[in-house]
Structure 1
Amino acid sequence: MITKPAGVSLVTGALLLAACGSMTAGRSASALPNIVPAVATPTTSAQPGAAFNDTDVMFAQMMIPHHQQAVEMAELAETRASDKEVKELAAKIKAAQDPEIQTMKGWLTGWGKPLPSGGMDQGMGHDMPGMMSAADMKKLEDAKGSAFDKAFLQMMIAHHKGAITMARTERERGKNQEAKQLADTIETGQQAEVEQMQKILARLQ
Structure 2
Amino acid sequence: MANEELSSGDDAAIKAIATKVKTDQQKEIQELQAFISSYQPDQATSNMFNMELMESMEKSGRQSDLQVLTGDTDQDFAQLMIVHHQSAIENARAVQEHGTSTMIKEMAHRMINAQMAEIEELQEWLLANKEY
Give 4+ residue runs of structure 1 displaced > 4 Å after superposition.
130-133
Aligned mates of 1:132, 1:103 — CA distance in 2: 25
What code does the residue aligned with 2:101 have? Answer: N
Q: How many residues align?
A: 114
Aligned to 1:67: none
Residue of structure 2 in register with 1:111 after alignment: 39
Distance 1:80 1:157, change over 3 A: same
Write the distance in 2 (CA, Å) between the matches of 1:86 and 1:183.
25
Residue segments in structure 1 that go unaligned for 5+ positions in a row: 1-72, 114-125
User: What's the counterpart of residue 148 of structure 1?
Assistant: 73
Q: Does 1:80 align with 2:5?
A: no
Instruction: Report the equivalent of 2:44.
Output: none
1:132–1:83 CA distance, 2 compared to 1 (3 A): farther
RMSD of aligned alpha carbons: 2.5
Between the aligned residues of both structures, percent identity stands at 30
Could you tell me the TM-score, scaled by structure 2's length? 0.74
Query: Which structure: larger Rg?
Result: 1
C-alpha contact 1:171 1:183 (8 A) present in aligned 2: yes
Deviations 1:110-154 (Å, cap 9, x if unpaired)?
A: 2368xxxxxxxxxxxx63536558x96xx98xx5xxx11111111
Does residue 1:95 correspond to 2:41, yes or no? Answer: no
Deviation at 1:200, TM superposition (A): 0.6
Asked whether the 8 Å contact 1:132–1:155 carries over to 2, the reply is no
Q: Is the 8 A contact 1:132 1:159 kept in 2?
A: no
Equivalent-residue separation in structure 1 for 2:23 and 2:4 (angstroms)? 14
Distance 2:61 2:4 in 1: 14
1:195 and 2:120 are equivalent in the alignment? yes
Give structure 2 stretches of 5+ with no counterpart: 42-52
